[in-house]
Amino acid sequence: MLGLLYAQQLTAQQIKISGTIKDNQGTPVSFASVYVKETSKGTSANIDGNYVIMVDPGQHTLLYKAIGFKPTERRIDPVAGLRQDVVMETESYTLEGVTITADAEDPAYEIIRQAIKRRKIHLEEVDAYSCDVYIKGLQKLVGAPKKFFGRDIQKTLDLDTNRKGILYLSESQSTYNYQQPDKIHEEMISSKIAGRNNAFSFNKASDLNINFYNNMLLENVLSSRGFVSPLADNALFYYNYKFLGMSNSNGETINKIQVIPRREHDPVFRGIMYITDDSWRLLGAELYLTKNTGVNLIDTLNIKQQYIKVDNAYMPSNVNFQFNGNVMGFKFEGYYLGVYTNYNLEPNFPKGFFTGELLKVPATVNKKDSTYWANNRPIPLTPEERADYIRKDRIEQLKVSKRYLDSLERSVNKFSLSRLLLAGHSINNRYDKRYLKLDPVLKSMFYNTVEGFGINYGLTYLQELQGYRSYTIRPELRYGLASKTLTANLNGTYIYNPAKKASINFGVGSGVYDLNRYGTMTMLSNSLNNLLFERNFMKLYRKSFLNAGTSKELFTGLQGNINLEYSENRFLQNNTRFRFFEYSDRSFTSNNPFSPEVETPLFPDYKALTAQATLTYNIGRRFITRPEGKFYQESKYPEVQLSYRRGIKNVFGSDADYDLLNLEISQERIGEGLWGFSSFMISAGKFLNDKTVYYPDRKHFRGNNSLTTLPNLRKFQFLDFYEYSTDQQYLEAHFEQNFAGLIMNKLPVIRKLKLEELVGVNFLTQPDKKNYKEYYFGLQRLIFRATYGFAYDGNKKVQHGFRISYGF
């Protein structure tokens, strides 16, 4: 408490200096840096050139810096609030003393070679540091269609009459800590989102901490591959450089270098860099990416980066990402600005300080009131931002009232038959945090040869509790007209500790399920294959069950799961052969995949008591801790999963008697720079005891007999859905390389489609299917892909053809 009072007293003693920064023409200098000279205490101007900085009483020299302008100093001796407007002069870069002839190399190349030569030195010169970071993010629409899928865009997105307005406005303050080579820990101190008083910003300083001394930047962020830095070891292969002149500042010679792509569609930057003589370090950059480089969703990303001298090093002081784009008629633009202050280049991090937690967001960070932000916001709000805060915060106060929410729910919960059929129907009570969702009727309907036309319909009830705890209950009914069979089940999950990803679950009832526990295809795909193509790929059985389980993070990166289930299992037979079209070269097969011509039971009715335990360890996986839970980020290392499943004999009449042990190692999206990314999975297992293993309890594989399928690294292209499930030992492996447009990007016209090339191989060996291999290649764009592949049983080619995948 005494420390808090002392801090408040110091804040009260500080003096506010404010003003506007403009150029010689009276145009605001957006996002200029303002620092107390010879310190790392500072701020940034806003987009209108307005700034505010708090200083201690006494004499100070303020340093104003902006890319393309001469640094400007102002000596001040404030005894009260002071307004200090500044006019910055455009930096003059001259070519005096530089002779460039037609056949001579541009001087920029030697400067760049020297900078590349010292790239790694500058990358690693600061072993560790800590600092304060302020981040502001703004996204707004500057144009939109009147309606989208029948919905009024102006009302839906709360826009003005021109369908323009701010969609997202957020601010946050954090402490940021770094240690070589890549240890990061950030803790958010305050957070504010316009119109969402109970929400937490997703601002993260490490997302803005782009370092042009790295060879590759923004990997798997804006595209499936990264972008080559203008200072990369191989930069001269991708860039041309032009010397634009030099200037002198505080005894340093600063070279202005234009960065020009050698090829229009390479994944590279354009723009300007400022590099010093002698030390050959980067002092500032204004570089940008365009959609020609393969960026997704946006048209242009402009990155401005300014540096400040701290001790003998230069550290980022101001990083600004500005972007714009147009998606389906929605024109948007915005920026994210990070201001780094109060550097400490000799922090004393205690042992165990870096734990893999990239960012911690305490529950109290959004509790700061308007007075706090008025006194501590380092960058003034623009009139547009101020108006957005005021309007949305007023609306937010109304939204939390029961009267408003009841009125809103009456409108939102209004029943619509078309909505129920296509999208489902929701009945929400936001005040009491209760939500009911009814499934879409059309999506719940199906057809198969076992049940005929039928419906598998359910609804989901969610109750949110304090501390971000919640429970979900889902009842489900299924009925088939041909089988005249009704099944019903009830499943529930209670999340009791989001920070530990801890939950318990239960299930009771009966249902009709795929013989392959991984599933073969969606109900819709199976229905279409049955009705249109006389192909009944999916084989089904009935299960009545009672199960319970629990899951919890045992320690960082290690998740444990335990599940116990008692079931009664019954094989089913076909009850109908209806189809829209009849084909002379095919007919429906029986529900027994091993006896396609005759309806013979694959297994007798049996009971099974099954216990399963799984440990999943993410090696070195980083995470973000927020009040609503822990969120893992993509890891640089593989995930290891060990599972054990046991069929327990003679307990409650159980017939099952087996032990299955499985080890799996996998990793997806391993970044490989310009070569895209790769993914792999290796799984090996064995039935240690196979005394009684009925077919549904075997080890199954994700096969595919259909032209269309769902994309999945673990899925085979041509393997039969059911035939090679095993009750013995097995080894399964999958590998896929996505080249992320490495070749397609070089082809005129085709490059506009932003297609990604991929190749892959699948492998399986088990006693009944030894050394089965698949090789495939194809193209992908977002959620769609088309491939052509070959399957080999040993050395014998057994199948080949196209496969089309979609990710709905």
Tell me which of 201 and 664 has the higher pLDDT. 664
- Sequence-ordered alpha helix ranges (H) in 51-192: 107-117, 119-124, 153-156
pLDDT value of position 4: 38
For 638-685, what is each residue's pLDDT tens digit? 999 999 999 999 999 999 999 999 999 999 998 888 898 999 999 999
Confidence at 553, pLDDT banded by 50, 70, 90: very high
Confidence at 3, pLDDT banded by 50, 70, 90: very low
E strands, 524-557, are 540-555
**pLDDT (mean) for 203-212:** 88
The length of the chain is: 808
E strands, 127-215, are 128-143, 147-148, 151-152, 165-179, 183-193
**pLDDT (mean) for 462-472:** 94
287 C-beta neighbours (distance < 10 Å), count: 22
Collapsing DSSP states into helix, strand and coil, what is residue 99? coil
End-to-end CA distance of the chain: 54
For 711-740, what is each residue's pLDDT tens digit? 889 999 999 999 999 999 999 999 999 998
pLDDT value of position 551: 97
Mean pLDDT of the chain, nearest integer: 90
For 214-263, what is each residue's pLDDT tens digit? 999 988 888 878 899 999 999 999 999 999 999 887 778 899 999 999 99
Tell me which of 375 and 587 has the higher pLDDT. 587
Collapsing DSSP states into helix, strand and coil, what is residue 469? coil
Query: Percentage of residues in the chain with pLDDT exceeding 70?
Result: 95
For 283-308, what is each residue's pLDDT tens digit? 999 999 998 888 888 899 999 999 99
Distance CA 313, CA 43 (A): 19
371 C-beta neighbours (distance < 10 Å), count: 8
669 C-beta neighbours (distance < 10 Å), count: 15
**pLDDT (mean) for 476-496:** 97
Q: Say yes or no to pLDDT of 552 above 50.
A: yes
Query: Percentage of residues in the chain with pLDDT exceeding 90?
Result: 63
532 C-beta neighbours (distance < 10 Å), count: 11
**pLDDT (mean) for 737-763:** 90
pLDDT value of position 401: 67
Residue 132 contacts residue 44 (beta carbons within 8 Å): no
Distance CA 41, CA 342 (A): 5
133-142, 362-371, 641-650: which has the minimum mean pLDDT?
362-371
Q: Say yes or no to pLDDT of 808 above 60.
A: no
pTM, full prediction: 0.86
Q: Say yes or no to pLDDT of 356 above 60.
A: yes
For 570-582, what is each residue's pLDDT tens digit? 999 999 999 999 9
pLDDT value of position 98: 64
94-108, 205-219, 311-325, 461-475: which has the minimum mean pLDDT?
94-108
List CB contacts of 458: < 8 A, sequence separation 6 or more: 439, 444, 474, 475, 476, 477
**Given phi > 0 = left and psi -120 to 50 = alpha, else beta, which region is 443?**
alpha
Q: Say yes or no to pLDDT of 613 above 80.
A: yes
- Sequence-ordered alpha helix ranges (H) in 199-274: 205-208, 235-238
Tell me which of 413 and 461 has the higher pLDDT. 461
pLDDT value of position 349: 94
For 141-196, what is each residue's pLDDT tens digit? 988 888 876 677 777 777 888 888 888 999 999 999 999 998 999 999 999 988 77
Residue 473 contacts residue 461 (beta carbons within 8 Å): yes
pLDDT value of position 297: 82
**pLDDT (mean) for 707-712:** 82
Please, what are the domains in the chain? 14-88 (2.60.40.1120), 107-396 (no CATH), 701-808 (no CATH)
Q: Say yes or no to pLDDT of 7 above 60.
A: no
Residue 265 contacts residue 289 (beta carbons within 8 Å): no
- H/E stretch holding 371 reads helix 370-376
pLDDT value of position 438: 96
**pLDDT (mean) for 380-408:** 79
pLDDT value of position 1: 37
Greatest mean pLDDT among 506-510, 767-771, 783-787: 506-510
Look-up of token digits 């101190």: 189
Look-up of token digits 């992320």: 740
Residue 231 contacts residue 116 (beta carbons within 8 Å): yes
